[in-house]
Chains A and B, each alone.
Chain A
C-alpha cells in the first residue's frame, strides 16, 4: 500500500503562505487514499507556479507547454489506459490558454483527473488578471479594473454535463483530498477546481476571504440532480459552495473506443498478414 512518504518531500519555489503547499498535501493524501503507487501515476502539467507542483511529487511527470496539458494527458491515457493520469495546473493555464481543450476534454470524457489551482490571478508572470478574476479586479495590466466577466469553470462544466465536477478550498486539506479521491474513482473526466489564495498578487481573494465564504454541501445535496447542480454551480458571493457539485455516469471515451476495448496500445505487434489484406483492399486488388 502506498504511503504519503512514497510521494516524497522536496524544496519548492513557492512564496511562504502560498495555497500550493496545502494543495500538494491534499494531492498526496488523495493519491494515497485512492491506493495509487507512484509508478502507476502520471501527472501532466503546463506552465505557471501551479504547474510546478508535480515536480515536488515523486511520480511520473510530463511538464509540457502552457495551456496544453489536457491534450498531452489525453494522448497518454489513450496510449496507456492503465496509468492513472492527472492534469494539474493553474486557472490561466487550464481556462485561459487551454480553454478550447477544456471544452473538448469535457465532451471527450477521457478518464483524466483535472486538478486546477484557482487563485484568480497570474502568479508566475507577476499579477495579471486570470480568466477567473472578478470583474473590477485592479492589476498592473488592468489598472482600471478587469472589464471582462469572471469565467465560471464549474458552471461551464456542469452545463456541459461533465462527468464529475467538484470545488474545494486549500483551507480544508481533508476535504480537498476527499474530492481528489472521488475524482480518481470517477471514470471519465473529473474536474476539481481548487480555490486558493495567492499571497503575493491577489490581495482581495485572500485565505480569510475564501474561509468566510466556502460552505460544504450537506448530505441532503444530490450531485446527480443536474438542475440543482446548475443552480449550485452559479452560486458565487457571500457563500461559495464546495464539494461534489455534479456527477453522472456518462461512459468514458475509452469504453466507447473499440480499439482500446482490446487492451492498451503499448506493446502491440503489427499483424502483417492483416496489413497485407488492407493494402490490397485499398489498392483495389482484394482477392476476388
Chain B
C-alpha cells in the first residue's frame, strides 16, 4: 500500500504523434504550478510508429520514484487503450478520441476532430488533460505560447485555439475530472532531466571540451552543452567514433581543457583502451556511461543497471578510478561537478554511471545556486615547479605536478608505455614497479574523498534495502510503504560505487535483520562487489532486467509485502 498521494498521467501513442511534446508541455505546466514530478519516458528505437509512452507522476509533495498504476491515461491511438487499460487504477480515467474509446464509464470520449485539425490534436489533448487535472488554463496557454510562439509563429494561433476549445469542451464533463490537490506555495522551481542537470553541473565546474559519438541515452548530454556552447565558451565535437571521442577528450585535457565524453555500454566498450591510456598517462577525463540493456545493442532505448562491473574493470592493467552513480537529478549536477574536480586532482579517469531512466527523467528541482561555486583549475602553477620538471615525479600521494604544454618553458612529456619520471619510455623494471606503486597510491586520496552511502532508518532495523544510482527514489518509497505497515525498515544508498570504503557501511549491513539488494541487473552486481570488498554476503536480491525502471511497486511485489 502506497503512502504517497500522487496522480500518474500516462500519455501513449506512436512515435511522431507529438506525445513527447504533450508530455513535456504538461510537465512544464505542472512544475510552473508548483507540483513535483517524476517523468518516465519509454520509447521504442524508431523515429515513427511503435508504441511509446511519456509518463508523468505528479504530486504536491516531494516524490522521486515512478509509479505503476495509471490514474489518467491519455491515448493518442487505439493501441494505447488496448495495451494499458488493465493498468488503470480504481477511479482512473481514460482520455481518448471518441472514435476508438470503448465508451466505458472510465473513458472521456473526446471529439478531437471538432476541436482541432489533425496537426493540433496533441495540443487539444493537452488541453483536456489540463482541464481534467484542474490546472489553470491561462498558465497552460502561456506555456504553449512560449513553446511555439518564438520558433513557429505560424503554429501559435492553431495551438492557442486547439487548447482553448479543448478546455472549453471539458467544462461540460465535470464528473470525470481528477483534480489535483493544491500545490504548496514555494520558491520557483525548474524542470530538468538527469542529462541536463549533469551537463549544467559539468559546465559549472569549468568544462571546456566535449567529444562524443551519438548514442542513446547519453546524446542529450552533449546536446545540452551544444545549446550553450557559444555563450559559455565550450568546444563540442562529434567524433568519428567512440575511440576518437575519448582520445580527443584526453588530448584536450592534456593541453588544459577540462574534458568529458558521454556514451552508453557499446560505445564505452570502444573507449576502454582510452580509459587505460588516461590511467597510464595520468590525464584527467570524465566519462559518462548512460546504461541501457545489453549485451551488444540490447534494448537501445530502455533502462538497466548492468554496467557496474564493466565500468569498474574497464581498461587493461591496474590504475585508480572513481565511479559515481547519481540517484537523482540534483545528484547528476553535484556529482558531475565532483567528477571534474576529482579527475583533475587525481589525474585519471572518473566515471558517472547513469541510465536511461534517470537520463530522460524530468523532475522539478530548485534552481542550483551557482554564485559560490568554484571551478577546476587545470594544471599546476609553473612558478611552483622545481627544476628539472618531471611530469611523473614521485610524490608521497602519487600525484605529480601537472603542467600544461606550451604555458611555460618546461616541457611536458608523457607516454602510454611505462615511463620514467620525466615521461620517457623505459623498460627498467625497478622504475616500472615504482611507477605502479605511485599510480596506485592515488587510490588512498580517492578513498578519502568518497561520497559515503546514505543511510536512513533505525540502528538495528528488521529489514535493510540496499540500492545504487537511479534506484534510490524507488527504494526509499518502498521502504516508506513497508514502514507504514509497522515494519522497521532502513535504506542504504550508494551514490558512489567505487572506491568502496567498508568502514562507512559494513556495520549497517551487519546490524540489520535481513538485507536485500535492489538493483537493475541479473547478477546482483553491487551485492557481488560488496561481498568482494567486505566479505558480507547479501543473500536476498530484488533484480529487474526487463528494460523498465525499478518502481516502488516492483520492489514491494518482489518482497511479497
Contact = CB atoms under 8 A, between A and B. Distances in A.
B449 interface: no
A284 B31 contact: yes
A270 B406 contact: no
B203 A270 contact: yes
Contact of B190 (A68, A272, A283): A283
A219 B368 CA distance: 65
Contact of A63 (B211, B247, B411, B414): B414
A101 B244 CA distance: 7
Contacts of A271: 231-233
A265 B376 CA distance: 13
B370 A272 contact: yes
A40 B244 contact: no
Given A75-B247, A282-B200, A101 B228 contact: no
B78 to A, nearest CB: 32
Contacts of A268: 208, 233
Interface in B380-438: 404-417, 423-425
Contact of B259 (A55, A75, A104): A75
A127 interface: no
Nearest to A60: B405
A42 B231 contact: no
Contacts of B248: 71-72, 74-75, 78
A195 B244 CA distance: 27
B17 interface: no
A52 B424 CA distance: 10
B239 interface: yes
A65 B368 contact: no
B375 A270 contact: yes
Interface residues of A, number: 58
B251 A75 contact: yes
Contacts of B208: 79, 265-266, 268
A283 B32 CA distance: 10
Interface stretch (B156-164, B273-281, B527-535, B547-555): B273-281
A83 B254 CA distance: 12
Contact of A79 (B143, B200, B230, B256): B256
B249 interface: yes
B257 interface: yes
A208 interface: no
Contact of A39 (B146, B228, B254, B409): B409
B255 A266 contact: yes
A288 to B, nearest CB: 7
Contacts, number: 226
A283 B228 contact: no
A265 B256 contact: yes
Contacts of A274: 231-232
Contact of A104 (B240, B405, B406, B415): B240
A37 B96 CA distance: 73
A83 B277 contact: no
Nearest to B407: A266
A63 B250 contact: no
Interface stretch (A138-146, A148-156, A254-262): A254-262
A58 interface: yes
Contacts of B32: 284-285
B222 to A, nearest CB: 14
Contacts of A40: 406
A279 B251 contact: no
A239 interface: no
A257 B230 CA distance: 9
A165 to B, nearest CB: 20
B21 interface: no
A184 to B, nearest CB: 15
A73 B31 contact: no
- Interface centre among B233, B256, B408, by most A CB within 10 Å? B233
A78 B244 CA distance: 14
Interface in B237-287: 237, 239-241, 243-245, 247-257, 259, 273-274, 277, 281
A151 to B, nearest CB: 18
A61 interface: yes
A60 B406 CA distance: 8
Given A42-B255, A280-B190, A282-B200, A71 B243 contact: yes
Contacts of B206: 270
Contacts of B241: 100
A278 B203 CA distance: 11
B230 to A, nearest CB: 6
A64 B277 contact: yes
Interface string A50-92: 0010010011111111001011111111111011000000000
A79 B251 contact: yes
B406 A68 contact: no
Interface in B192-217: 192, 196, 200, 203-206, 208-209, 211
A220 interface: no
A275 interface: yes
5 contacts: A61-B411, A63-B417, A75-B252, A268-B208, A275-B204
Interface of A: 38-40, 42, 44, 47, 52, 55, 58-65, 68, 70-80, 82-83, 100-101, 103-104, 257-260, 262, 265-272, 274-276, 278-280, 282-285, 288
Given A78-B235, A283-B196, 14 more contacts: A38-B411, A42-B405, A60-B405, A71-B244, A72-B247, A75-B211, A75-B253, A76-B251, A79-B254, A259-B235, A265-B235, A265-B257, A278-B200, A284-B143
Interface of B: 28, 31-32, 142-143, 146, 188-192, 196, 200, 203-206, 208-209, 211, 224, 227-235, 237, 239-241, 243-245, 247-257, 259, 273-274, 277, 281, 365, 367-368, 370-371, 373, 375, 378, 404-417, 423-425
Q: Which 10 A-B pairs have the closest CB atoms?
A: A283-B190, A75-B251, A75-B252, A72-B251, A71-B247, A79-B257, A104-B240, A60-B405, A75-B248, A266-B256
